[in-house]
Protein backbone atom coordinates (compact mmCIF):
# COMPACT_ATOMS: atom_id res chain seq x y z
CA UNK A 1 0.00 0.00 0.00
CA UNK A 2 1.27 3.47 -0.91
CA UNK A 3 0.96 6.09 1.84
CA UNK A 4 2.74 8.84 -0.14
CA UNK A 5 -0.47 10.68 -1.01
CA UNK A 6 -1.48 10.82 2.65
CA UNK A 7 1.98 12.08 3.61
CA UNK A 8 1.80 14.75 0.91
CA UNK A 9 -1.48 16.07 2.30
CA UNK A 10 -0.20 16.02 5.88
CA UNK A 11 2.93 17.94 4.91
CA UNK A 12 1.28 20.53 2.63
CA UNK A 13 0.87 23.12 5.38
CA UNK A 14 4.52 22.75 6.41
CA UNK A 15 5.63 23.36 2.83
CA UNK A 16 3.72 26.66 2.92
CA UNK A 17 5.37 27.62 6.23
CA UNK A 18 8.82 27.15 4.70
CA UNK A 19 7.88 29.68 2.01
CA UNK A 20 8.02 32.32 4.80
CA UNK A 21 11.81 31.92 4.73
CA UNK A 22 11.88 34.18 1.66
CA UNK A 23 10.70 37.39 3.30
CA UNK A 24 10.53 36.84 7.05
CA UNK A 25 13.95 35.46 7.93
CA UNK A 26 14.92 38.11 10.48
CA UNK A 27 11.55 37.92 12.23
CA UNK A 28 11.72 34.10 12.38
CA UNK A 29 15.23 34.17 13.81
CA UNK A 30 14.42 36.83 16.41
CA UNK A 31 11.40 34.75 17.45
CA UNK A 32 13.62 31.65 17.77
CA UNK A 33 16.04 33.56 20.02
CA UNK A 34 13.26 34.95 22.23
CA UNK A 35 11.76 31.46 22.61
CA UNK A 36 15.12 29.97 23.65
CA UNK A 37 15.81 32.76 26.16
CA UNK A 38 12.36 32.47 27.71
CA UNK A 39 12.59 28.69 28.06
CA UNK A 40 16.07 28.82 29.65
CA UNK A 41 15.76 31.94 31.83
CA UNK A 42 15.44 29.91 35.05
CA UNK A 43 18.33 27.55 34.34
CA UNK A 44 21.67 28.07 36.06
CA UNK A 45 23.17 29.38 32.81
CA UNK A 46 20.16 31.59 32.15
CA UNK A 47 20.33 33.21 35.59
CA UNK A 48 24.09 33.74 35.28
CA UNK A 49 23.67 35.53 31.97
CA UNK A 50 20.41 37.34 32.91
CA UNK A 51 18.24 35.82 30.19
CA UNK A 52 15.12 37.08 31.98
CA UNK A 53 16.21 40.68 31.41
CA UNK A 54 17.61 40.12 27.92
CA UNK A 55 15.65 42.06 25.33
CA UNK A 56 16.64 41.05 21.84
CA UNK A 57 19.83 40.18 20.03
CA UNK A 58 21.92 43.16 21.12
CA UNK A 59 21.37 42.35 24.83
CA UNK A 60 22.08 38.67 24.16
CA UNK A 61 25.47 39.49 22.64
CA UNK A 62 26.33 41.81 25.54
CA UNK A 63 25.34 39.30 28.24
CA UNK A 64 26.43 35.97 26.76
CA UNK A 65 29.98 34.94 25.74
CA UNK A 66 30.99 32.93 22.69
CA UNK A 67 31.64 29.30 23.69
CA UNK A 68 33.59 26.34 22.46
CA UNK A 69 33.15 22.87 23.93
CA UNK A 70 35.87 23.57 26.48
CA UNK A 71 33.89 26.45 27.99
CA UNK A 72 30.73 24.34 28.37
CA UNK A 73 32.40 21.03 29.23
CA UNK A 74 32.17 21.46 33.00
CA UNK A 75 28.43 22.14 32.82
CA UNK A 76 27.89 19.24 30.42
CA UNK A 77 29.79 16.87 32.72
CA UNK A 78 27.52 17.89 35.61
CA UNK A 79 24.47 17.28 33.42
CA UNK A 80 25.77 13.82 32.50
CA UNK A 81 26.08 13.07 36.21
CA UNK A 82 22.40 13.87 36.71
CA UNK A 83 22.15 17.58 37.56
CA UNK A 84 19.04 19.37 36.30
CA UNK A 85 18.40 22.88 34.98
CA UNK A 86 22.04 23.59 34.14
CA UNK A 87 22.15 24.60 30.46
CA UNK A 88 18.55 23.67 29.60
CA UNK A 89 15.45 23.03 31.76
CA UNK A 90 15.10 19.59 33.34
CA UNK A 91 17.42 16.61 33.11
CA UNK A 92 19.03 15.67 29.81
CA UNK A 93 19.36 11.92 29.41
CA UNK A 94 20.98 11.55 25.99
CA UNK A 95 24.39 12.74 24.74
CA UNK A 96 25.69 12.50 21.19
CA UNK A 97 29.32 11.42 21.05
CA UNK A 98 31.25 13.57 18.60
CA UNK A 99 34.88 13.83 17.57
CA UNK A 100 37.23 15.01 20.29
CA UNK A 101 38.85 18.27 21.23
CA UNK A 102 42.45 19.15 21.98
CA UNK A 103 42.02 17.94 25.56
CA UNK A 104 39.54 15.06 25.21
CA UNK A 105 39.04 12.00 23.03
CA UNK A 106 35.33 12.73 22.62
CA UNK A 107 32.79 15.48 22.99
CA UNK A 108 29.39 14.74 24.53
CA UNK A 109 26.74 16.97 22.98
CA UNK A 110 23.49 17.21 25.02
CA UNK A 111 20.38 16.05 23.14
CA UNK A 112 17.35 17.25 25.08
CA UNK A 113 13.76 16.14 24.40
CA UNK A 114 13.08 19.64 23.03
CA UNK A 115 16.14 19.38 20.79
CA UNK A 116 15.04 15.99 19.49
CA UNK A 117 11.55 17.22 18.68
CA UNK A 118 12.14 20.80 17.59
CA UNK A 119 15.51 20.44 15.83
CA UNK A 120 16.56 16.93 14.83
CA UNK A 121 13.22 15.31 13.98
CA UNK A 122 11.90 18.52 12.47
CA UNK A 123 14.85 18.46 10.06
CA UNK A 124 14.17 14.87 9.07
CA UNK A 125 10.51 15.66 8.48
CA UNK A 126 11.32 18.73 6.40
CA UNK A 127 13.65 16.67 4.19
CA UNK A 128 10.61 14.61 3.21
CA UNK A 129 8.41 17.73 2.92
CA UNK A 130 10.76 19.37 0.43
CA UNK A 131 11.45 16.16 -1.47
CA UNK A 132 7.73 15.48 -1.99
CA UNK A 133 7.19 19.11 -3.01
CA UNK A 134 9.87 18.79 -5.68
CA UNK A 135 8.83 15.31 -6.85
CA UNK A 136 5.06 15.07 -7.37
CA UNK A 137 5.41 11.58 -8.89
CA UNK A 138 7.14 10.17 -5.79
CA UNK A 139 5.95 6.91 -4.26
CA UNK A 140 8.55 6.73 -1.50
CA UNK A 141 6.02 5.58 1.11
CA UNK A 142 5.06 2.56 -0.98
CA UNK A 143 8.10 0.79 0.45
CA UNK A 144 10.73 1.14 3.15
CA UNK A 145 13.62 3.46 3.90
CA UNK A 146 17.08 2.03 4.55
CA UNK A 147 18.38 4.21 7.40
CA UNK A 148 22.03 3.72 8.26
CA UNK A 149 22.93 4.75 11.79
CA UNK A 150 25.64 4.42 14.40
CA UNK A 151 25.59 2.74 17.78
CA UNK A 152 25.41 3.40 21.50
CA UNK A 153 28.66 3.60 23.44
CA UNK A 154 28.00 1.88 26.76
CA UNK A 155 31.54 2.46 28.04
CA UNK A 156 30.74 6.20 28.18
CA UNK A 157 27.41 5.84 29.98
CA UNK A 158 26.81 7.11 33.50
CA UNK A 159 23.87 6.37 35.80
CA UNK A 160 20.97 8.36 34.41
CA UNK A 161 22.66 9.38 31.13
CA UNK A 162 23.27 7.51 27.88
CA UNK A 163 25.77 8.13 25.08
CA UNK A 164 25.64 7.17 21.42
CA UNK A 165 26.14 8.37 17.88
CA UNK A 166 23.46 10.92 17.04
CA UNK A 167 21.91 8.56 14.48
CA UNK A 168 21.59 5.86 17.16
CA UNK A 169 19.90 8.31 19.53
CA UNK A 170 17.43 9.26 16.79
CA UNK A 171 16.65 5.60 16.05
CA UNK A 172 16.27 4.81 19.77
CA UNK A 173 13.78 7.64 20.34
CA UNK A 174 11.90 7.62 17.05
CA UNK A 175 8.12 7.32 16.91
CA UNK A 176 7.32 3.57 16.71
CA UNK A 177 5.12 4.27 13.68
CA UNK A 178 8.21 5.19 11.67
CA UNK A 179 9.57 1.66 12.17
CA UNK A 180 6.82 0.43 9.86
CA UNK A 181 8.58 2.25 7.02
CA UNK A 182 12.26 1.56 7.77
CA UNK A 183 14.92 -1.16 7.70
CA UNK A 184 16.98 -2.69 9.23
CA UNK A 185 15.56 -3.95 12.53
CA UNK A 186 16.41 -1.73 15.49
CA UNK A 187 18.77 -4.26 17.09
CA UNK A 188 20.70 -4.49 13.82
CA UNK A 189 20.80 -0.72 13.34
CA UNK A 190 22.37 -0.23 16.76
CA UNK A 191 25.13 -2.87 16.48
CA UNK A 192 28.55 -1.42 17.29
CA UNK A 193 30.72 -3.63 15.03
CA UNK A 194 30.31 -2.05 11.59
CA UNK A 195 31.57 -5.05 9.63
CA UNK A 196 29.04 -7.37 11.28
CA UNK A 197 26.35 -4.71 11.02
CA UNK A 198 27.01 -4.12 7.33
CA UNK A 199 26.50 -7.79 6.55
CA UNK A 200 23.32 -7.99 8.66
CA UNK A 201 21.87 -4.83 7.12
CA UNK A 202 22.54 -6.05 3.59
CA UNK A 203 20.89 -9.41 4.26
CA UNK A 204 17.83 -7.84 5.93
CA UNK A 205 17.35 -5.06 3.38
CA UNK A 206 17.91 -6.89 0.08
CA UNK A 207 14.61 -8.78 0.40
CA UNK A 208 12.60 -5.61 1.17
CA UNK A 209 11.10 -3.04 -1.22
CA UNK A 210 13.51 -0.20 -0.42
CA UNK A 211 12.48 3.14 -1.95
CA UNK A 212 14.80 5.54 -0.12
CA UNK A 213 18.20 5.64 1.58
CA UNK A 214 19.46 7.85 4.43
CA UNK A 215 23.00 8.03 5.77
CA UNK A 216 26.62 9.04 5.33
CA UNK A 217 27.72 8.45 1.69
CA UNK A 218 30.92 6.55 2.51
CA UNK A 219 29.32 4.06 4.90
CA UNK A 220 26.16 3.69 2.82
CA UNK A 221 28.30 2.85 -0.22
CA UNK A 222 29.98 0.09 1.77
CA UNK A 223 26.57 -1.40 2.66
CA UNK A 224 25.29 -1.11 -0.93
CA UNK A 225 28.39 -2.83 -2.28
CA UNK A 226 27.72 -5.70 0.12
CA UNK A 227 24.13 -5.87 -1.16
CA UNK A 228 25.51 -6.19 -4.68
CA UNK A 229 27.93 -8.95 -3.62
CA UNK A 230 25.16 -10.96 -1.96
CA UNK A 231 22.60 -10.43 -4.71
CA UNK A 232 24.91 -11.03 -7.66
CA UNK A 233 23.20 -8.19 -9.52
CA UNK A 234 24.94 -5.57 -11.64
CA UNK A 235 22.95 -2.51 -10.64
CA UNK A 236 21.10 -1.63 -7.46
CA UNK A 237 17.74 -1.03 -9.16
CA UNK A 238 17.74 -4.74 -10.04
CA UNK A 239 17.54 -5.39 -6.27
CA UNK A 240 15.26 -2.45 -5.44
CA UNK A 241 13.33 -1.46 -8.58
CA UNK A 242 11.43 1.29 -6.74
CA UNK A 243 14.46 3.04 -5.25
CA UNK A 244 14.14 6.79 -5.88
CA UNK A 245 16.12 8.95 -3.43
CA UNK A 246 19.20 9.09 -1.22
CA UNK A 247 19.10 11.62 1.65
CA UNK A 248 22.80 12.07 2.38
CA UNK A 249 24.87 14.11 4.81
CA UNK A 250 27.87 14.03 7.12
CA UNK A 251 30.55 14.31 4.42
CA UNK A 252 30.69 15.99 1.02
CA UNK A 253 28.99 13.91 -1.67
CA UNK A 254 31.29 15.02 -4.52
CA UNK A 255 33.91 12.23 -4.20
CA UNK A 256 31.18 9.57 -4.20
CA UNK A 257 28.75 10.89 -6.82
CA UNK A 258 30.25 9.04 -9.79
CA UNK A 259 30.33 5.74 -7.89
CA UNK A 260 26.66 6.07 -6.93
CA UNK A 261 25.72 6.90 -10.50
CA UNK A 262 27.48 3.77 -11.71
CA UNK A 263 25.83 1.66 -9.03
CA UNK A 264 22.36 3.18 -9.55
CA UNK A 265 21.64 3.85 -13.23
CA UNK A 266 17.89 4.52 -12.95
CA UNK A 267 16.94 7.96 -14.35
CA UNK A 268 14.36 8.22 -11.52
CA UNK A 269 17.06 8.34 -8.83
CA UNK A 270 17.38 11.56 -6.83
CA UNK A 271 19.97 12.83 -4.34
CA UNK A 272 19.25 15.33 -1.57
CA UNK A 273 21.92 16.78 0.71
CA UNK A 274 21.17 17.37 4.38
CA UNK A 275 23.17 19.24 7.01
CA UNK A 276 22.54 17.29 10.18
CA UNK A 277 25.22 17.29 12.85
CA UNK A 278 25.45 16.08 16.44
CA UNK A 279 24.66 19.64 17.49
CA UNK A 280 21.54 20.04 15.37
CA UNK A 281 19.86 19.91 11.97
CA UNK A 282 20.63 23.06 10.03
CA UNK A 283 20.13 22.82 6.28
CA UNK A 284 18.41 21.06 3.39
CA UNK A 285 18.94 21.05 -0.35
CA UNK A 286 15.61 22.44 -1.51
CA UNK A 287 16.43 22.68 -5.23
CA UNK A 288 17.89 19.61 -7.00
CA UNK A 289 19.58 21.89 -9.55
CA UNK A 290 21.36 23.93 -6.85
CA UNK A 291 24.06 22.32 -4.71
CA UNK A 292 23.59 24.92 -1.95
CA UNK A 293 21.26 24.26 0.99
CA UNK A 294 18.41 26.20 2.53
CA UNK A 295 19.17 27.30 6.11
CA UNK A 296 16.31 26.06 8.33
CA UNK A 297 15.50 29.14 10.39
CA UNK A 298 12.32 28.36 12.34
CA UNK A 299 13.67 25.52 14.48
CA UNK A 300 14.97 25.87 18.04
CA UNK A 301 18.23 27.21 16.61
CA UNK A 302 19.50 30.78 16.60
CA UNK A 303 22.42 31.39 14.22
CA UNK A 304 25.38 33.72 14.29
CA UNK A 305 28.34 33.89 11.92
CA UNK A 306 31.94 34.97 12.46
CA UNK A 307 33.74 36.15 9.38
CA UNK A 308 36.87 34.04 9.06
CA UNK A 309 40.06 35.91 9.84
CA UNK A 310 38.24 38.59 11.84
CA UNK A 311 36.52 39.06 15.20
CA UNK A 312 33.35 40.26 13.46
CA UNK A 313 30.25 38.24 14.49
CA UNK A 314 26.88 38.99 12.87
CA UNK A 315 23.37 37.50 13.11
CA UNK A 316 21.83 35.89 10.06
CA UNK A 317 20.45 39.18 8.74
CA UNK A 318 23.99 40.61 8.75
CA UNK A 319 25.72 38.04 6.51
CA UNK A 320 26.97 38.73 2.99
CA UNK A 321 27.21 36.41 0.02
CA UNK A 322 30.60 34.99 -0.87
CA UNK A 323 32.25 35.42 2.54
CA UNK A 324 33.56 32.49 4.56
CA UNK A 325 31.97 32.33 8.03
CA UNK A 326 32.40 30.13 11.09
CA UNK A 327 28.95 29.19 12.39
CA UNK A 328 27.76 29.74 15.97
CA UNK A 329 24.50 28.29 17.30
CA UNK A 330 22.24 28.63 20.32
CA UNK A 331 19.81 25.71 20.67
CA UNK A 332 17.26 23.96 22.86
CA UNK A 333 19.93 21.39 23.69
CA UNK A 334 21.63 24.00 25.87
CA UNK A 335 24.36 25.17 23.52
CA UNK A 336 24.79 28.96 23.79
CA UNK A 337 26.69 30.96 21.17
CA UNK A 338 28.46 27.69 20.51
CA UNK A 339 31.21 27.54 17.89
CA UNK A 340 30.24 24.38 16.03
CA UNK A 341 33.46 24.10 14.02
CA UNK A 342 31.95 24.24 10.52
CA UNK A 343 32.44 27.06 8.04
CA UNK A 344 29.79 28.13 5.55
CA UNK A 345 29.50 30.47 2.60
CA UNK A 346 26.18 32.03 1.60
CA UNK A 347 25.10 31.85 -2.03
CA UNK A 348 21.78 33.65 -1.49
CA UNK A 349 20.23 35.91 1.16
CA UNK A 350 16.59 35.67 -0.01
CA UNK A 351 16.11 32.97 1.02
CA UNK A 352 19.29 32.24 2.97
CA UNK A 353 21.13 29.46 1.15
CA UNK A 354 24.67 28.27 1.74
CA UNK A 355 27.34 25.68 1.10
CA UNK A 356 29.47 24.03 3.76
CA UNK A 357 32.92 25.37 2.92
CA UNK A 358 34.89 23.34 5.46
CA UNK A 359 35.85 23.14 9.12
CA UNK A 360 37.44 25.82 11.25
CA UNK A 361 40.21 23.34 12.08
CA UNK A 362 40.30 21.44 8.75
CA UNK A 363 42.06 23.69 6.25
CA UNK A 364 45.61 24.27 5.05
CA UNK A 365 47.06 27.69 5.69
CA UNK A 366 50.68 26.81 6.41
CA UNK A 367 52.04 29.34 3.91
CA UNK A 368 49.18 31.86 3.58
CA UNK A 369 47.35 29.81 0.92
CA UNK A 370 44.05 29.49 2.87
CA UNK A 371 42.97 26.29 1.11
CA UNK A 372 39.50 25.20 2.29
CA UNK A 373 37.59 21.97 1.82
CA UNK A 374 35.26 23.37 -0.83
CA UNK A 375 38.33 24.18 -2.97
CA UNK A 376 39.58 20.63 -2.50
CA UNK A 377 36.25 19.03 -3.41
CA UNK A 378 35.86 21.12 -6.56
CA UNK A 379 39.46 20.52 -7.60
CA UNK A 380 39.22 16.77 -7.18
CA UNK A 381 35.89 16.62 -9.02
CA UNK A 382 37.44 18.48 -11.95
CA UNK A 383 40.55 16.28 -12.03
CA UNK A 384 38.36 13.17 -11.93
CA UNK A 385 36.20 14.49 -14.76
CA UNK A 386 39.25 15.17 -16.93
CA UNK A 387 41.02 11.85 -16.27
CA UNK A 388 38.19 9.36 -15.67
CA UNK A 389 39.43 8.69 -12.14
CA UNK A 390 37.26 8.16 -9.06
CA UNK A 391 38.34 9.18 -5.58
CA UNK A 392 37.17 7.08 -2.63
CA UNK A 393 38.93 8.79 0.29
CA UNK A 394 41.59 11.45 0.71
CA UNK A 395 43.41 13.68 3.13
CA UNK A 396 45.97 16.43 2.57
CA UNK A 397 48.54 18.25 4.70
CA UNK A 398 51.54 20.54 4.23
CA UNK A 399 55.13 19.40 3.89
CA UNK A 400 56.83 22.29 5.62
CA UNK A 401 60.33 21.71 4.29
CA UNK A 402 61.98 18.69 2.73
CA UNK A 403 65.68 17.91 2.45
CA UNK A 404 65.93 20.40 -0.42
CA UNK A 405 64.26 23.15 1.61
CA UNK A 406 61.14 22.88 -0.55
CA UNK A 407 57.54 23.21 0.72
CA UNK A 408 54.43 21.67 -0.81
CA UNK A 409 51.06 20.09 -0.14
CA UNK A 410 50.97 16.31 0.14
CA UNK A 411 47.75 14.49 -0.79
CA UNK A 412 47.11 10.90 0.22
CA UNK A 413 44.36 9.58 -2.07
CA UNK A 414 42.62 6.20 -2.21
CA UNK A 415 41.12 5.76 -5.67
CA UNK A 416 38.30 3.41 -6.58
CA UNK A 417 39.34 4.03 -10.19
CA UNK A 418 42.91 5.36 -10.46
CA UNK A 419 43.93 7.73 -13.25
CA UNK A 420 46.06 6.35 -16.05
CA UNK A 421 48.70 8.99 -15.29
CA UNK A 422 48.96 10.12 -11.67
CA UNK A 423 51.24 13.01 -12.64
CA UNK A 424 48.64 14.34 -15.07
CA UNK A 425 45.98 14.07 -12.34
CA UNK A 426 48.21 15.99 -9.91
CA UNK A 427 48.90 18.69 -12.48
CA UNK A 428 45.21 19.16 -13.30
CA UNK A 429 44.30 19.30 -9.61
CA UNK A 430 47.06 21.83 -8.91
CA UNK A 431 45.99 24.12 -11.76
CA UNK A 432 42.33 23.94 -10.75
CA UNK A 433 43.15 24.84 -7.13
CA UNK A 434 45.01 27.91 -8.42
CA UNK A 435 41.97 28.84 -10.47
CA UNK A 436 39.65 28.44 -7.48
CA UNK A 437 41.81 30.12 -4.83
CA UNK A 438 43.81 33.30 -5.52
CA UNK A 439 45.85 32.90 -2.31
CA UNK A 440 46.92 29.41 -3.34
CA UNK A 441 47.67 30.73 -6.83
CA UNK A 442 49.88 33.50 -5.39
CA UNK A 443 51.86 31.06 -3.26
CA UNK A 444 52.33 28.72 -6.23
CA UNK A 445 53.60 31.58 -8.45
CA UNK A 446 56.79 30.37 -10.17
CA UNK A 447 57.11 27.67 -7.46
CA UNK A 448 58.73 30.25 -5.19
CA UNK A 449 56.76 29.57 -1.98
CA UNK A 450 54.95 26.32 -2.77
CA UNK A 451 56.17 23.56 -5.05
CA UNK A 452 53.67 21.55 -7.14
CA UNK A 453 51.50 19.35 -4.95
CA UNK A 454 52.45 15.71 -4.38
CA UNK A 455 50.02 12.79 -4.57
CA UNK A 456 50.66 9.56 -2.70
CA UNK A 457 48.36 6.76 -3.87
CA UNK A 458 46.91 4.86 -0.92
CA UNK A 459 46.26 1.14 -1.09
CA UNK A 460 42.67 -0.10 -1.09
CA UNK A 461 41.12 -0.07 2.37
CA UNK A 462 43.84 2.04 4.04
CA UNK A 463 41.48 4.72 5.34
CA UNK A 464 38.99 2.15 6.64
CA UNK A 465 41.79 0.29 8.39
CA UNK A 466 42.96 3.54 9.99
CA UNK A 467 39.43 4.33 11.22
CA UNK A 468 39.04 0.76 12.47
CA UNK A 469 42.28 0.99 14.43
CA UNK A 470 40.86 4.08 16.12
CA UNK A 471 37.51 2.40 16.85
CA UNK A 472 35.77 4.75 14.42
CA UNK A 473 34.63 2.43 11.63
CA UNK A 474 31.04 3.16 10.59
CA UNK A 475 28.49 5.45 12.15
CA UNK A 476 29.05 9.15 11.57
CA UNK A 477 32.85 9.07 11.74
CA UNK A 478 34.68 10.73 8.88
CA UNK A 479 38.19 11.21 7.54
CA UNK A 480 39.67 14.70 8.13
CA UNK A 481 40.08 16.05 4.60
CA UNK A 482 42.52 18.90 5.17
CA UNK A 483 44.82 19.57 8.08
CA UNK A 484 47.26 22.33 8.88
CA UNK A 485 49.51 19.80 10.63
CA UNK A 486 50.65 16.29 9.75
CA UNK A 487 49.33 14.10 12.56
CA UNK A 488 46.60 12.31 10.56
CA UNK A 489 48.55 11.86 7.34
CA UNK A 490 51.62 10.58 9.19
CA UNK A 491 49.50 7.95 10.97
CA UNK A 492 48.09 6.82 7.63
CA UNK A 493 51.51 6.74 5.98
CA UNK A 494 52.91 4.79 8.92
CA UNK A 495 50.07 2.23 8.65
CA UNK A 496 50.80 1.90 4.94
CA UNK A 497 54.51 1.37 5.67
CA UNK A 498 53.67 -1.43 8.13
CA UNK A 499 51.86 -3.23 5.32
CA UNK A 500 54.97 -3.12 3.15
CA UNK A 501 57.22 -4.65 5.80
What is the Cα–Cα distance from 47 to 118, expressed in whole angstroms? Answer: 23
In the prediction, which pLDDT does 405 show? 55
- Tell me if the domain spanning 373-500 has CATH number 3.40.50: no
103: pLDDT strictly greater than 50: no
87: pLDDT strictly greater than 80: yes
Chain center to CA of 458:
24
Q: Write the burial class of residue 172 (CB in 10 Å: 0-12 exposed, 13-18 middle, 19+ buried).
A: middle
For residue 456, the tally of other CB atoms under 10 A from its CB is 13
- Cα–Cα distances (Å) from 414 to 186, 220, 256, 372, 392, in that order, read 33, 17, 12, 20, 6
* The pTM of the whole model exceeds 0.95: no
pLDDT category at 49 given cuts 50, 70, 90 is very high
Q: What are phi and psi of 497, to 5 degrees?
A: -65, -35
Task: Please report which residue ranges of 279-393 form alpha helices under DSSP H.
Answer: 373-387
Tens digit of pLDDT for each residue in 12-41?
A: 999 999 999 999 999 999 999 999 999 999
Element (H, E) at 94: strand 94-99
476 vs 23: which has the higher pLDDT: 23
Contact 305, 277 (CB under 8 A): no
Structure letter (DSSP) for residue 419: -
449: pLDDT strictly greater than 80: no
Structure letter (DSSP) for residue 452: P
- Percentage of the chain exceeding pLDDT 90: 66
Output the average pLDDT for the chain: 90
Tens digit of pLDDT for each residue in 222-269?
A: 899 999 999 999 999 999 999 999 999 987 787 788 889 999 999 999
Nearest CA to 364 out of 483, 465, 474 is that of 483
pLDDT category at 403 given cuts 50, 70, 90 is low
56: pLDDT strictly greater than 60: yes
pLDDT category at 149 given cuts 50, 70, 90 is confident
149 vs 321: which has the higher pLDDT: 321
101: pLDDT strictly greater than 60: no
What is the Cα–Cα distance from 220 to 145, expressed in whole angstroms? Answer: 13
Domain extents in the chain: 1-24+68-301, 373-500
Amino acid sequence: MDFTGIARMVFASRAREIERYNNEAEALQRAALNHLLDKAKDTEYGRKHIFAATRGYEDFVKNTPVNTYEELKGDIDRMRHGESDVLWPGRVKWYAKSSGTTNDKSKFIPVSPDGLKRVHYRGGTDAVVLYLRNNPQSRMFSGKGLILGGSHAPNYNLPGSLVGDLSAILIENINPMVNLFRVPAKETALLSDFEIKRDRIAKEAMTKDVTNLSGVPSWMLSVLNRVMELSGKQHLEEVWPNLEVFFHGGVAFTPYREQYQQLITSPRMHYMETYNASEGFFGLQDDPADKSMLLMIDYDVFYEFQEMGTDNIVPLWGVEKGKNYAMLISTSCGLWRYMIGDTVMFTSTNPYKFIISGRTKYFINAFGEELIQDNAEQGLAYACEKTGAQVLEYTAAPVFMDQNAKCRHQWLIEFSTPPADINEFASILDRKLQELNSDYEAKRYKDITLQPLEIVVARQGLFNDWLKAKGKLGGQHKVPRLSNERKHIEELLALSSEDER
